[in-house]
Amino acid sequence: MQNFYNAKEDIVSEAIDGLIASAGGKLRRFDPSSYARVVVRTDWDKSKVAIISGGGSGHEPSHAGLVGPGLLTAAVCGGVYASPSVDAVLSAILEVTGPKGCLLVIKNYTGDRLNFGLAAEKAKAMGHKVEMVIVADDVATANTAQPRGIAGTVFVHKVAGHMSESGASLDDVLATANAINGNLRTLGLARDTCTIPGTEKQDRMAANEVEVGLGIHGEPGVAVETFDDCEQLMKDLSARLIASIDTAKSHIALFNDLGGLNGLESAILFKAFMSSDLAKSAEYVMGPIPIMTALDMPGFSITLVPIEDAYSEALMSKTECDVWPTPQKIVAANPITPPKLDELDFEPSDDASIRSFLNTAIDACLTMEDDLNVLDAKVGDGDTGTTFALAARTVKSELDNLPLANGSDLLAVLGDIKGKSMGGSSGVLFAIMLANASDAFKADPNWSTALSAGLDAMQKYGGANLGDRTLIDALRPALDQMVAGNGIAKAAEAARSGADSTAAMLSANAGRSAYLEARSLDGFADPGAEGIARIFEALASNI
C-alpha cells in the first residue's frame, strides 16, 4: 500500500466528503449519487457574478479548496487528472448562476476547454450570461501551440472572486481577470514525477537529476538538469523566468509546493529563491505553500505577476479562505545576536596518566565507530558509533588545551565538549553527567565517586534505570565496581556483563529502542551499552 485510498473509483467523491466535513458548514456538494461532483458555497444567493473553476482532481487544495467568499463560487471536480463532463459543468453553472451571469476559469488543457466550453454554450442557449478565461501561464511551453495552465490559475481565481464579491458586472470581472491572466508567468521543476492511483509510477529521472518544466499531470518537461545544490538550481530556474518578465516592474511571487516536498526541502528551496536574482523583482511573496499540486510530486513552481493598477487591489485583498496565502511584503532579514553565554575559565595543564586515560578512550571510540553504527542500524537510527566518534575527535583536537591536572575543570570542559559535539540526547545526557561530576569532584576529588554522582544526575533527567536497555546497563555496574574500590578490570567485566544482558531484553523503556517491538530487539545488544563496555575494556587492557 502506497497511499491511504479506498476503491479507486471513490477517491474523488470521498475526498470531497472530507473537505465538506472540515469546512464548518461553509461548503456543500451535489449528492454523491449524482453524475456531478460539484462543491459550492453554502452562503451563495446568486446576486453576484458566479466564479466557477475546476478540472481534473489531484491538484488539491485546488480547486474545491478555494471555494469561498472572495474566491470561487463553485468547483467542478473531474476524476484524477481528468476533466469533468459537460453535464457536470453545466449543472454547476445552472446551480449558482443568477442574473449577473458567471465566469468560468480553466487551465489550458484540451479536455477542460472542450467540456467547459460546450457547457458554457449550452448555458448561453438557455439564457444565461457566461464568459470564460483560459489560463496558459507555463513559461516552459509558452512557445508551443497550447501553453499549459498551471499554478498561476489561482491568481485569476482570486482577482475574479474579489471583483464578484465587490458587486462588479460580468464585463468588469472578465476584464480584470483577463488583465492578470495575460501577465502570469510560471515555471516549475521536480526531482520525480507525480503518482496516479492504480498506475505504476514512471521512473524517468536519475537520483541526481531534476526535470524543468514538467506539467502538473506528470507531462515531460523541457529540460533535464543535474542537481548540484539548491542555490545553483534556483539560479538556473531564475534565469529562465527572468527572461519572460519585465524586471523593471515590481512583482508578486508565489512559491508553490507541488505536493511532495518535505518541510525542510521546501524551506531550503525558498531560502534559495529569496537569495536569487528572481527575488529582486519581487516586492511581495506568497508561500511556500502547496496550492496547485500534482499528487506527491517532489517539486515546486514559482509564479510571477507584475503589480498593476488594473488588479492589484483585487489581488491583495483579504479572504476568508484558510488555504489562500496572503501576499507578504518582502523584508530584509534582521538576525538576532544570541545572548553571550559564560565561557569556561580554565588554564591548560598536563597530567600523563589522565592524558593516557583519555587517549585510550578516544582510540576505543574511533575504532568501534563502524561496529556501533551497524548495531544501531538494527535497533535505532544507525548513528551511535558516529556520535561517540565525533565527541572523541573533538576531545582529541583539544587535548593539548585541556586542564588535565585539574579534575573539576577537566570534567566541566569535557561536559561542555560533549554537549556541543555529540548532538542529540546523548550529548545532553553526558553533558549533565560530567557537569555534575565536576561539582562532586570539587567537594571530594575522587574520580569514581564524582562520576557516580554525575551518573545519578544523568539518570534523574534521562529517566533510564538498570534494565531499561540503555547504556546505563553497562555504565552503572562499572562505576559501582569503581566506587567499591574493585578497580578498572572488575569495572570492565561488569560493563561487559551489563551490555551483553541487553541483548536478551525484549523491551526498552528509554531511548529510540523504546519504540521498537520485541522481534526487532531480540539478540542485539544496546549500542550505547556496547560502546561503554568497549571503552572500559580498552581502559582495563591499558593498565
- At 106, is the secondary structure helix, strand, or coil? strand
**What is the per-residue pLDDT for 2?**
72
424 belongs to a structural domain: yes
* Residues 6+ away with beta carbon under 8 Å from 15: 57, 60
CA separation for the pair 252, 284 (Å, rounded): 5
338 belongs to a structural domain: no
pTM of the model: 0.75
**What is the per-residue pLDDT for 60?**
97
- Angle between helical axes of 384-398 and 424-443 (0-180°, round to 10): 50
Pairing of strands 130-135, 102-107: parallel
Q: How far is CA 194 from the centre of its chain?
A: 17
Under-50 pLDDT residues of the chain: 1, 510-521
DSSP string for residues in 264-327: HHHHHHHHHHHTSGGGGGEEEEEEEE-SS--SSB-EEEEEEEE--TTTHHHHHS--S-TTS---
Q: Based on the fold, state whether residues 313 and 364 are members of the same structural domain.
A: no
Residues labelled as active-site residues: 217
Domain membership of residue 52 as a residue range: 8-329
Q: Based on the fold, state whether residues 319 and 430 are members of the same structural domain.
A: no
**What is the per-residue pLDDT for 203?**
81
**What is the per-residue pLDDT for 424?**
67
Q: Based on the fold, state whether residues 409 and 458 are members of the same structural domain.
A: yes
Q: Based on the fold, state whether residues 280 and 429 are members of the same structural domain.
A: no
Q: Based on the fold, state whether residues 113 and 252 are members of the same structural domain.
A: yes
341 belongs to a structural domain: no
67 belongs to a structural domain: yes
**What is the per-residue pLDDT for 338?**
83
* Residues 6+ away with beta carbon under 8 Å from 480: 452, 494
Q: Based on the fold, state whether residues 370 and 284 are members of the same structural domain.
A: no
Q: Cell numbers for 201, please give them.
A: 509510477
Q: Structural domain tally of the chain?
A: 2
DSSP string for residues in 337-406: PPPPPPPP----B--HHHHHHHHHHHHHHHHTHHHHHHHHHHHS-S-HHHHHHHHHHHHHHHGGGSBTT-
CATH number, domain containing residue 378 = 1.25.40.340
Q: Based on the fold, state whether residues 321 and 358 are members of the same structural domain.
A: no
Is the separation of the CB atoms in 40 and 27 below 8 Å? yes
CA separation for the pair 481, 511 (Å, rounded): 25
337 belongs to a structural domain: no
Domain boundary among 295, 329, 363: 329
Q: Based on the fold, state whether residues 379 and 321 are members of the same structural domain.
A: no
Q: Based on the fold, state whether residues 40 and 160 are members of the same structural domain.
A: yes
> Roughly how many angstroms between the first and final C-alpha of the chain, as a whole number?
57
Q: Based on the fold, state whether residues 168 and 222 are members of the same structural domain.
A: yes
Q: Based on the fold, state whether residues 186 and 283 are members of the same structural domain.
A: yes
**pLDDT digits over 112-131, tens only?**
999 999 999 999 999 999 99
339 belongs to a structural domain: no
CATH number, domain containing residue 235 = 3.40.50.10440
Q: Based on the fold, state whether residues 324 and 426 are members of the same structural domain.
A: no
335 belongs to a structural domain: no
Domain boundary among 329, 364, 397: 329
Look up residue 494 and give its DSSP letter.
Answer: H
3 belongs to a structural domain: no
